[in-house]
Structure formats: C-alpha cells, structure tokens
Amino acid sequence: MNINMNPNSELVQSAVNVPNLVQVPEALINQAHEFQMAIMMYTCAIREVKTKLEVLNDELSLRNQRNPIEMIKSRVKRPVSIVEKLHRRGLPISTESMVQNLDDVAGIRVICSFVDDIYTVANMLVSQDDITVVTIKDYIRNPKPNGYRSYHLIIEIPVFFSETKKNMRVEVQIRTIAMDFWASLDHQLKYKKDIGDAADRISEELRQCADVIAATDQRMLAIRKDIEAQGGTVRK
C-alpha cells in the first residue's frame, strides 16, 4: 500500500498534544492514510449496526404499537481520545495498535423508553447470525459504584468493501432516557474544577440521584404493564 506522508494528520497532531508524550513515533507520521482508512471502516460499521437497530425498531413498533427506541446516537472516537487511551495503557501509538487494542473506537448509544426494551433490543440484535458478541457488561443489574447504569455490548460485524471484507468492532450502549440524562450530567460535572472538599458530597448526591432515577424507571415500567394488563396501549 502506498502511504501518504502527512505529518499534519489528526492522529499525529493528537499525539503531539498528549501531555507527557515527548516523542511522536516516526511510524505514526507515516500512517495518515491507514488511519483515515480505518476511521472510514469504523464509520461504515456504525452505519451497518444503526441500520439493524432501525429495522428492529420498525418491526417492534408494529408488533407492540409503540417504538421501543427513542433515539440512536453514534460517534467515532476523536483522534486525541484514541491517542490518550493508548498512551494511558502504555500501548504503541499506531493505527494497528488502535485496531487491535481499542474496542470502542466506533460507538453507538441506543436510548430506549423502558428498561425491558433494553434487553429486548439487545437480545434481538445479538441473535442475528452475522453479529459476534465479544463482551457484555450489564451495569443495570450491576451498577457501577457511582450509580452509573447502562447495558454495554462489544460486537463484531462484517463490513463489505470493494475488494475485501473486514470484521469491525462496535461498542453499543443501551439505556433509558433517565439513565442517559444522569450519565450526561455526571460526565459534565466530573470535569468541573476546583470543587475541593465538596467532591465526596457531590459524588454521594449524584449516586443518590442515580438510585432515584432507577426507581423511577421501574415505576414507569410497572405503570406501562398495568395499562397493558387493562387492555390499553401505550402509543407514541
């Protein structure tokens, strides 16, 4: 493969900007083209998985007369975040290292209406015969100590290009609207500076809020099931 020499590539610039990273490997400077190709492949993998999720949502909306998926968000990890994560783990900073060691370069977040929708969507997705499950982490049944709740999947999906087929890994996070609201605020607040002695108190308040939100999710699910038991339909 012919390599475009491009020392101004995003990956190189990100490596330069990582604190305490003194020297950018020469091999990285020569990898601009490979990096761009890899990012393109991750973007295509996201498109494949999003299409699967949209098809499932359309089918389930007809079957259940409501949409289980409220929203699908996606992103490819920023070059600076890729470099920082490789550097933090003590791994080589290269395109090959990124592909081999990072499972979350391509990410999809699925926002569902109810907790049981999370498991329904996840089970239907992983049951498809071209999906390979790499890992599952259920932070709903087993929340993180800070209260974080979500259902995480690392899956592998084949993507067909003009001359090759690549098995690409995608991280899928599935959560309710309330879980996503909490996670977004927690992410914003944890980067606030100069909170000093208030850090422990604020962390505890956030954890308590997570418990309240989880209880609300369960109550909303119970209400929906009660409506359905009475012969009603939850429509959107």
Both tokens assigned to 157: 């999906």
CA distance 157 to 81: 23
171 is catalytic: yes
DSSP secondary structure letters along 85-145: HHHHTT---SHHHHHHH-S-SEEEEEEESSHHHHHHHHHHHHTSTT-EEEEEEETTTS--T
User: Which of 34, 59, 156, 171 is labelled catalytic?
Assistant: 171
Give 230's contacts (C-beta < 8 A, 6+ positions apart). Answer: none
- On whether the CB atoms of residues 183 and 189 are closer than 8 A, the answer is no
- On whether the CB atoms of residues 138 and 83 are closer than 8 A, the answer is no
Give 148's contacts (C-beta < 8 A, 6+ positions apart). Answer: 139, 182, 183, 186, 210
Separation in Å, CA 172 to CA 69, 89, 101, 122, 141: 13, 22, 17, 9, 17
Cα 125-43-106 angle, rounded to 5 deg: 60
Both tokens assigned to 216: 């609300």
Provide the annotated active-site residues: 171
